[in-house]
Structure formats: C-alpha cells, structure tokens
Structure 1
Amino acid sequence: MPQANLQFLNVEPDDEETYRLLLRRGGFKEAELARQLADDPHHEDAPLDPRAISHRLTELGLATATPGGLLAPASPAKAVEGLVERQVGRLRHKLEEEVIRSGVVDSLLAEHEKSMDCDGGPDTSTSTGQTQHIEGMSAVRAVIDELTYFTRTENLTTSPTGILSQESIAHARLMDSRILRRGVHMRTILASPALDDPATMSYMRELTSKGAQIRISYAPIERLIICDRAAALTPIDPAHTSKGAILTRDPGLVAALVSLFERMWQTAHHLPVSDDGEVEAAEFASDFERQLLRQLYTAEKDEIGARKLGIAVRTYRKHVASVMHRLGATNRFQAALLAHERGWI
C-alpha cells in the first residue's frame, strides 16, 4: 500500500518529509535542522535555510518551537485537524466572497418579501422607511446573522450585562470568527461583571488573539450592534431584550449611535492582564488608569484604593497587574516611576 501524503491539504512534499523526520526523531534544535535533513535518507535535497523551513512548519501547525529552541512535532491528529481547518477556512472565504459577488442572498430575500406580501405570512417585523421593528429573539438572531454576514469593514458591539452564557458564546463564535477572518475591525465593550466570569473572559481573550479589541466599562452602557456604520440594532425595550430589536439604516440615526458608541469606548478600560500575561497592547493611559496610578502613589492599602475608585479589591488588583505589565514594571514603585516618565501621571 503506497504511503499517504499531505499534498491534498496543500502541504509541499519537502515540508511533509521534514515533519515526518520530526516525528521519527522526536524533535531537535533548529540549528541542527540542516544536518538532520542531510543525514535523513527520506530527504535527499535538504533546504539550505533551516530557519525558513522551521517557520513554514510552525505556520502550518506541523511543529512548535519551544522557548528553549527545540523544534517539536505536533501530534498527527492535531496537525491534520489544523490543516483541514485551514482548507475549510479558505473554501468558506472563497464561497462567501462568491455569494456577495453574485447577490444571491438579496435575490432570495426579494422572493421571500414577495411571498409575505402576497400570502400575508407570519412576518415578525414591521417596517417604516429605513427602520424595522424585529419581534422575538429568534427573529433578532436571524437579523444579526444576516448583518454580520455582509459586514466588511467594522463591527461595533456592547454587552450591558457583561456576562455571556455558554449558549450565547457558542452562537457568537461562528459569527465573530467569520468577520474576523475577513479582516473586519471589531470593537466590543462589556460591563464590568465580565471580569468575574471565567467563560466570558476566556472568550474575550480568544477574540483578542484573533484581532478584536475589547474594553471593560464600569459605567452603564447601552446595548448596540453597529455594522459598517450603515446599520444599527438596538433593543425595543432595554430592560426586556427578549421582546425584540429596532433595526435602522437611517444615516442620521446610525451616525448618532456611532457617536454614542465612541463616547462609551473612550470611557471604557483596557482588558486587564490575564494569568499568563496576555493583555491588549496600548501606547497611552486611559483616565481610569491614571486614577489607578495615582492611588498607587497615595493609598496605603489596596482596599483604600479600590474604595476610592469604586471597584472591588479583586478587580483593583487585576488592573494594577495589567498596568504594571504594560509598563514593564516588576513592582508598584517602579510602575509609578515609569508612568511618571511616560507622562501618564
């Protein structure tokens, strides 16, 4: 039986042979790569640039480079799964672009609207000019799916409760991944209870790793979804979002809601540092961070600083760790000095 290969998953033969070598040898230093390839009977024409082939293997998910400089093979199941996901992602992107180009969705929607007009079907929305009232959560989710499908430049969202259920995360992951994969600029503001919900924070950090920008608000925020600054969705009743939503494409109303989002964004705060040191990069200090740094100067205890800022001690300490990480400080005294040097306080 001939040996199966990975060419159908868009892996070049030389890269596959190197991966198979890693699997046989268990990994080795990048500096040894050229010699190992030259000595391997399965790989007659070894590449001259081991760094380049190491980079290709890690990009393909076939290997990982450890902090100690060891190039180790990924497990076959995980490697193949990743290659399949890459191919599926490429195909999905190609098909989505073709759908947009063809206008087939608009054509189908037109047929659906004709059916509603002729048959008096159970329409869940009422329309007045450029504004629609969407009733019921299932209908709202359908509208969100449609809006995000066609989003091409920017997606702005808020979460006034801050906490996302597992069901909400599962539903959002497909849409969020789809728009981030297309290079859409995503910004999201969550209420501060998100900081104490592990599932929500884990998902937010997943989004930031894919390019999304996330901020936390300690002030009340309004529920908004804005796509490409051309369409906006707000709840019919903010206190009972299950009743439905208002969709508007009116340029004046959308512009006003974008301005509202920008004001909320400016007063929100960067995502605190995680346990593994991951944090959103920024070159400036927010008003909240300046207040926090002043407390490091004056407050003798965290409890006092947290009380003056109106937040929980646990949250206060998370933000202290975050700002220290951004400053590259090893202790609070050094953080205050570095902040002063940067003009943050």
Structure 2
Amino acid sequence: MALANLRFLGVGPDDEETYRLLLRRGGFSQADLTRHLEEDVQGDAALDPQDAHRRLIELGLATETPGGLLAPVSPAKAVEALVESRVSGLRDQMEDEVSSSGIVDSLLGEHEKSLGASSQPLHTAGTTRHIKGMASVRAAIDELTFFTRTESLTTSPVGVLSEESISHARLMDSRILRRNVHMRTLMGAQALEDPNTMDYLRELTSKGAKIRISYEPIERLIICDRAAALTPIDPAHTTKGAILTRDPGLVAALVSLFERMWQTAHDLPATDDVGETENGLANALQREILHSLCTAEKDEIGARELGIAVRTYRKHVASIMQLLGASNRFQAALLARERGWV
C-alpha cells in the first residue's frame, strides 16, 4: 500500500517531509532545523531552513513557541486547517469565476423575461425598483451579497434575530467575511436581551465584523459596496417588500444616514451579564439606564429612549439598585456618580 501524502491538500513533498520530521523529533531550534534538514530531508539539496520554517507556519503545520522553537501542530488539527484552506480557496476561486463569467446575469435575464418587459434587472446601474414579497426580497439580498466585494453596511432596528434569520444570515455573512469585506452592522438595543442574537453577533465579531448597538431608533438599511441600497417599502410593515436603488445620489444619502446612526451607537458590550463586569463597572446597557435615571421623568420615557420594553427597563433598574446597595433610584444615581459610572 502506497504511503499517503499531503500533496492533494497543497503541501509539497519537501514541506511534508519536514513536517513529518518535526513530528518525530517534537521540536526544532533554527540550528537543529538546519542540521536535520541536511541529514534527513531527501528533497531539494538547496532547501533553505528559513524558507522551510516560514512555509510550515504559513501552512499551519507548525507554530513558533515563545522560546523560539518550531513545534508541530497536531496532525488532526493541521489536516483540518489544510482542508478548510483548500475548500475556502476553491470556493473563492469559483465565486470569482462565476462573477467574471456573467452566468448570473444570463440566468437573471431568463427569469426577468417572465416579469414583463417593463421590469428592470437588479444589477442595472442607476435604477430604482420595487420588490414585493419577502421571497423576492430575500432573493435580491442573496444576489447583492454574492457580488459584494468591499463593504457591507446593514441595520436591524428590531435587534432580535430569530433562529431562522440567523441560519439564513450565517451563510451570507460568512461568505462576505471570507472575502475580507468590511462589514459593519447596527443592531437595536433589544439585541442585548436575546442570548441567541448576542451569541451570533459575537460570532460575527470574532470573524472580523464590527457591530454596534443603538439605543435610539434606527432605519432599516442594507448597503453594498456603496453602489446599491435596499430599504423597506413601508418601514412599519417590512413584509410588503423593499426598494432597491443603484442611483448614486440616493445611495450616497443612505450611506450618510448610516454613518450618522453609526456615530451615535455603542460598541457591542464585552459581556451581557446583568451584574458588574470584570472591571467593576456597570455594563453598557446599565450605564445607559443610569443616565436615563438622571434625565427621564418616567420609566416609560426612559425605556422609549433606549428602545427597550418598560418591563425590561424596570428589571435593570432593580438590578442596578441591588448592585449599588441603593434603597431608591435617587440614591442609585448618586452612588453611580460616586463610582464614576455616569
């Protein structure tokens, strides 16, 4: 039986032999690597130890320890990373080929024939069109995100994402982030109250997305590459459909609106705990509520300003009072000021 090798995963014979040698020896200093390459690796006689060191790290087959030693990555983890890299590379290559081939435009042309001669393609520059029905809106979003290459700006005024929405969004968001597209997302404050939503938002930030929470009302927007924008036909009833525009002036105005909303929003909290953070400070939502205690005359006003339910607002007020050891709200505000929370 022939010895299995890593060539099909993009690893050359010299690099694989060096990795196998590293697995057998457990670790190398630069001097050890030079000596063992000369003695044990039967490939290129002019193999450069520094190049071998660099390639093993780039391929994910080895890591450099704080002491400067080259240590092997476990085989299972190394092969898994090679497979992921290979699949990701093939996916990107195929998506680029699809984009440059014009096949999607060709297929859309067939579909648009059934919509009537007056309909305009989604991708036509300078156009604005109404898209009715959620199925058509989702198809439009899928198409826009497929072609996004530089920047994705989105908002979610409601804040809370259903499991179905997360499942649908994960495929698109992962595709965008794999291309190193600059993704910024604004979420309504209700997101802070939903563990599933917060878990997904933190998943996105771990992959490079930037997420902010808005305590003020925000508009529903999706903007791709500052070239196309999608907004609801009726913001109060988003199921009616959406307006897709590629008009440069309209898109620029919507980008400006997004930037203003982004500037007034807050970074995603590092923790969603109800109590104090590791630094002994109230979390982001609690600090906003403390500010409202000092300015809002009624709970209803404070809750509305923060975009959360009155019951949720009161629950956090009670938690803050307990956290501070305050007997009333006035005392809570004073104690918070003493601690520098407001």
* Alignment TM-score, normalising by the size of structure 2: 0.69
What are structure 2's unaligned runs of at least 5 residues?
273-283, 296-301, 303-312, 321-338
- Give the SS at the match of 2:29: helix
Instruction: Give the match for residue 299 of structure 1.
Output: none
Quick one: structure 1 residues 197 and 56, their matched pair in 2 at CA, closer, same or farther if it must change by over 3 Å? farther
Instruction: Give the match for residue 50 of structure 2.
Output: 49
Q: State the Cα deviation string for residues 182-224 of structure 1 (Å, max 9, x = none).
A: 3322211112232343433333333333332221111121111
Give runs of aligned pairs for residues 249-328 of structure 1, distance below 5 A: 249-273=246-270, 307-308=293-294, 312=316
Q: State the Cα deviation string for residues 125-177 of structure 1 (Å, max 9, x = none).
A: 9xxx9332222322211110101111222211011122223332222222222
Greater Cα shift, 144-153 or 304-313: 304-313
Instruction: Give the match for residue 334 of structure 2.
Output: none
Give runs of aligned pairs for residues 163-312 of structure 1, distance below 5 A: 163-273=160-270, 307-308=293-294, 312=316
The structure that has the greater radius of gyration is 2
Instruction: Give the match for residue 89 of structure 2.
Output: 90
Instruction: Give the match for residue 32 of structure 2.
Output: 34
* Residue 148 of structure 2 corresponds to residue 151 of structure 1: yes
Q: Distance in 2 between matches of 1:274 and 1:66?
A: 31
Q: Aligned partner of 2:32: which letter?
A: A
* Residue 75 of structure 2 corresponds to residue 79 of structure 1: no
Q: How many equivalent pairs are there?
A: 290
Q: How far has the Cα of 1:264 moved from its partner?
A: 0.3
Q: Distance in 2 between matches of 1:196 and 1:37?
A: 59
* Residue 86 of structure 2 corresponds to residue 61 of structure 1: no
Higher relative contact order (CA 8 A, sep 6+): 2
Tell whether the 8 Å contact from 1:160 to 1:191 is kept in structure 2 after alignment: yes
Q: How far has the Cα of 1:37 moved from its partner?
A: 6.9
Instruction: Give the match for residue 330 of structure 1.
Output: none
Q: State the Cα deviation string for residues 105-132 of structure 1 (Å, max 9, x = none).
A: 11221122223338x9xxxx9xxx9332
Identity, % of aligned positions = 66
Tell whether the 8 Å contact from 1:226 to 1:233 is kept in structure 2 after alignment: yes
Q: Aligned partner of 2:82: which letter?
A: L
Structural RMSD (CA): 4.2
Quick one: structure 1 residues 72 and 244, their matched pair in 2 at CA, closer, same or farther if it must change by over 3 Å? farther
Q: Distance in 1 between matches of 2:7 and 2:191?
A: 44
Tell whether the 8 Å contact from 1:64 to 1:71 is kept in structure 2 after alignment: yes
Tell whether the 8 Å contact from 1:229 to 1:254 is kept in structure 2 after alignment: yes
Tell whether the 8 Å contact from 2:29 to 2:69 is kept in structure 1 after alignment: no
Q: Distance in 1 between matches of 2:81 and 2:245?
A: 40
Q: Distance in 2 between matches of 1:97 and 1:35?
A: 39
Q: How far has the Cα of 1:263 moved from its partner?
A: 0.7
Q: Distance in 2 between matches of 1:134 and 1:240?
A: 14
Q: Distance in 1 between matches of 2:318 and 2:65?
A: 33
